[in-house]
Amino acid sequence: MLAENTDIDLVYFQRDQYISSSLVRQGYFPCSPLLHKSVISTRTLELYHHIFVRCPRLSIQPFVRALCDLHGIRFRNHLCVQFSEAYDAFRAVKTSILSSIKTVLGRDSPDWRSLNACPACQYPMAGESELEFEMLAAMDGNDSLKRVERREASGDASTPGRVKERYDPRVGGRDYFLDPKEVDEWDIKNWRNQEGWKEPAPQLSKTGAEKGCEDRWENMKKSHTEADRGIFDETGIFVATCRHMFVLWALDMIKSGEQRKYALAFLHRFLSAIKEERANLGLRLPGKKAFGYDIGCQLQTTLDTSPLQPLAEEENARMVTGSLHGHAHNRLCQLKFLLSYINGCGLEDLEVLERLFSLSNALAMAIRHASKFHRRQMISSWFYHHDNFEAYANLSKFIYNNYRQALTILEAKDSVISRMRAIGVLDGKEIFGWLDEEKEYLESRREEPEEDLNRMDLYVKQVKLNECRARLEAAHSAFIAYNPSDYPANVKRTNAVEQTMRHEQEKEEKLMSEVHFLERRLELKEPWTEDSEEWKKAKEMFKNHSYRKAVNRLEGLIVARIFELSKMHMAGTGMRQHLGKALKTRSKAIQEAVRTYNTAAAKLSPPREALSYDEVVEKAYVSELDFLKDTDSNIHEKIWAVPANRVLMTEYFKLFRASEELDRLHVEIHRLLTYMKEEQEYLWAVELNISENNPQLAYQVSLYRWERGRFNDLHRLRLRNIISLPGFDDTNRRFFRAGVGLKCQSQGEDERADDNMGEEMDVDRVNGEDDSDSEGEEGDIQAEAQVTAVLGVAVD
């Protein structure tokens, strides 16, 4: 595998201009371009590459150490350098081959991969059912894949040394990464450079982003998004995927936190490419697109005021919040952005990037001290492998599991309908009306009027003034009654007593000044007294305000607890111990917040029911606490505010979304079957077409065809099992047949291979028209398990 200073019989071909070419032709990659004292076999490099993309924690050094152990030689540091150079050459050749394949297939445009990553999302069919949202995608940032910037040692620990990054003209991951210059164009300070953009007047987003949501997110705070001048150059990665976890684009976060320019840059590139593709396909009307983001409400506000707004509106793009992050937003924000309340989203949660990052975090150790090129090379290699050997392999499994989940939810349909009728609800439109009523109510109580705030402030200042005057009177009496003879000669209290009285006088003057200022602002004709009606009203408002403040504190702690619990068992974070300690601390804080809440609730008129710690921590939805904030007792008499009805409303929307999910899955099944058929036909035709003139490239096309083609039989098996699920409607069998794709590429009918007929027969068996070879559902599941086991140990 590793040959150094060894006599190897090599045949140098006359057509090879360089010795390196002859070495590669015979299965060896040199460790340097000119001096060929050391070479590494292609099979060794291929083995390492496949091991690395399967287990990114395995960097080059432990692999080279293992090779040394196998060959019985002592490990030396320069062997890692040699292996790295040979591996770079190997990856360069693989990249060049892939580029040649894409060229001959007509897939070499910069945006082709992002527009055709997922067959289920991006392979539209002729005459297919129209969906409310033609595509569901998600985007998010992750700071695990950061890279240390190489600097010289500095004498001052507080000042970083001079940058000493080695110049490297190579750029890795062009297929997956956007250019940082393209990203910087969407920084807010550069918006004025965008053609035709005019700065709008300050206003709310068209969809009404809620004020206060940004305070709940670390990645929305200025301290997190501002430039990071620490030891890292790339401080993380921003990724966008479809709902099936196929990567659309990735962006490097450079010396900053998760700024909004990364989301805007992705949306501009992706939506522009979709617009151009739609024009090429001759499609006139764009379908709706939903992009999930943990702070989608605030990003929608930014989008509506940015230069990207016309394109987003033309392409019907809107922001939503995922199910996990969405439940930490306030209730009004949820009603506008949470997937559960948006028609057409089905059962999708759009938290796919949390799962992707739990896998990609394994790259962190390998890339932390890598160069810019090698970091991108490793990330893009992992993305490519994940898309073709993980996301595509699990595509039919995703469809099968979601189909089964939707059927399971729909089994409760009769029970939900009977409970709806029991409370007088005969039509689901009434439940949608509940949402509108709730939204209208919350809109009307968005903020407290400024006048009410001033009245509460005046009440607080007057209470403090009265308390200060009582203390001043006591201090003045103590000063008058002070007699030095009452104390020993060595004890002098004159200065202390006088100082206490002087401090209280200063506080009184300051409070009186503030009270007079607020009285002038409120235009009061006479000062308040404790017996006046204005005093009593302000006192009641302050009690309610303190109560809502206690609820907000409790809500914030529960939000933190939800996310800490969600990451306690997440692989790859390396934070389980820290999260465990944080949860213990958080529990004590929640207990204290519950006591504060109960104290404030008891002061209300009438008093609110006290909460226990167990009741609080078992809250499934933080949004339910929003109703505790409202001190209007009439709100709890509304039909949509009754706890039992709110549970019923949640179950009804689950049923509604399950039905939508089946509609989307039927389209995805139809697309997947068509894609498998047409993709294999096209690749077969290209391979046959070029095999005579360029057999080497034809062979590489066959390998390219087999990358995804190896999973097609498994997909058909899983899709066939859907038909056997309890509750499956036989009228939906029509979706289990290949159709005609709008993106179908063709070499001509006369050039198609005769073997394609076998593909059509497989589709017919999936369609249920030929079950003669079937051994029943149990045999199918057993066969699937066997195939999955074999694929798990097979070499890619």
Summarised one tens digit per residue, pLDDT across range 67-115 is 999 989 999 999 999 999 999 999 999 999 999 999 999 999 999 999 9
- Tell whether omega for the bond before 484 is within 30 degrees of 0, i.e. cis: no
Whole-number Cα distances in Å, 636 to 447, 641, 643: 20, 5, 9
Which amino acid type is present at position 700? Q
Residues 35, 652: Cα–Cα separation, whole Å: 72
The span from the CA of 588 to the CA of 567, in Å, is 20
CA–CA separation, 305 and 315 (whole Å)? 16
Q: What is the DSSP track for 585-649? A: HHHHHHHHHHHHHHHHHHTSSSPPPPPPHHHHHT-S-GGGGGGTS---GGGGGSGGGSHHHHHHH
What is the residue type of 736?
F
* H/E segment holding residue 234: strand 234-242
Which H or E element spans position 206?
A: none
Residue keyed to tokens 């994940």 = 386
- Residue 740's identity, in one-letter code, is V
Helices and strands in the chain, H and E counts: 29, 8
d(CA 500, CA 479): 9
β-partners of residue 163 are 151
Contacts for 68-77: CB closer than 8 Å, 24+ residues apart: 70/1, 71/1, 71/2
H/E element holding 449? none
SS3 category, 356: helix
DSSP type of residue 168: -
Q: How far is CA 528 from CA 239, 467, 507, 519, 538, in A?
A: 59, 15, 20, 9, 10
CA 229 to chain centre: 25
Residues 6+ apart with CB under 8 A from 628: 551, 608
Using DSSP's 3-state secondary structure scheme, residue 35 falls into coil
**DSSP one-letter code for 236:** E
Residue 455 has φ and ψ, to the nearest 5°, of: -65, -40
| DSSP run (H or E) holding 686 | helix 643-690
Task: Tell me how crowded residue 481 is: count the other CB atoms within 10 A of its CB.
Answer: 9
Put the strands of the sheet holding 133-142 in their side by side order. 247-254, 234-242, 133-142, 288-292, 317-320
Q: Residues 362, 54: contact at Cβ < 8 Å?
A: no
Are 83 and 683 a contacting pair, CB within 8 Å? Answer: no
Distance CA(715)–CA(329), nearest Å, equals: 38
| pLDDT at res. 635 | 60
Query: Which residue has tokens 């506008």?
Result: 336
Identify the burial level of 661 via C-beta atoms within 10 angstroms of its C-beta, where 0-12 means exposed, 13-18 middle and 19 or more buried: buried
Edge-to-edge strand order for the sheet containing 2-4? Answer: 2-4, 38-41, 28-30
Q: Is 710 helix (H, G, I), strand (E, B) or coil?
A: coil
What is the sign, positive or negative, of the torsion defined by CA atoms of 691, 694, 695, 697?
negative
* Cβ-contact 593, 615 below 8 angstroms: no
Q: For residues 708 and 712, what is the distance between their CA atoms, to the nearest angstrom?
A: 7
Cα–Cα distances in angstroms (integers) from residue 353 to residues 19, 261, 563, in the given order: 46, 19, 15
Torsion of the alpha carbons at 568, 569, 572 and 575, rounded to the nearest 10: 20
| Cα–Cα dist 531/527, whole Å | 11
State how far the Cα of 327 lies from the Cα of 235, in Å rounded to an integer.
Answer: 28
Q: DSSP H helical segments within 218-341, as ranges?
A: 222-225, 260-281, 296-305, 309-314, 323-326, 331-337
Q: Which helix (H) or strand (E) holds 485?
A: none
Of 634, 565, 615, 678, nearest in space to 324 by CA: 565
CA 108, CA 98: separation in Å to the nearest integer? 10
Amino acid at 523: E
Give the Cα separation of 254 and 669 in Å (integer).
40
Instruction: Tell me the β-bridge partners of 136.
Output: 290
Distance, CA of 325 to CA of 309 (rounded, Å)? 25
Q: Residue written as tokens 């924690």? A: 57
Maximum alpha-carbon separation in the chain: 122
Length of the chain: 796
pLDDT of residue 5: 45
Distance CA 55, CA 738 (A): 36
Contact between residue 135 and residue 289 where contact means Cβ atoms under 8 Å apart: yes
CA 755, 756, 761, 762 torsion: positive or negative?
Answer: positive
CA dist., res. 261 & res. 320, Å (int): 18
Count the Cβ atoms, other than its own, within 10 Å of residue 705: 18
Strand pairing of 317-320 and 2-4?
A: unpaired
pTM over 0.85: no
CB 87: neighbour CB atoms within 10 A? 22
Q: Which residues of the chain have pLDDT under 70?
A: 1-16, 155-159, 196-230, 444-449, 482-495, 551-587, 613-637, 747-796
β-bridge mates for residue 151, sequence order: 163
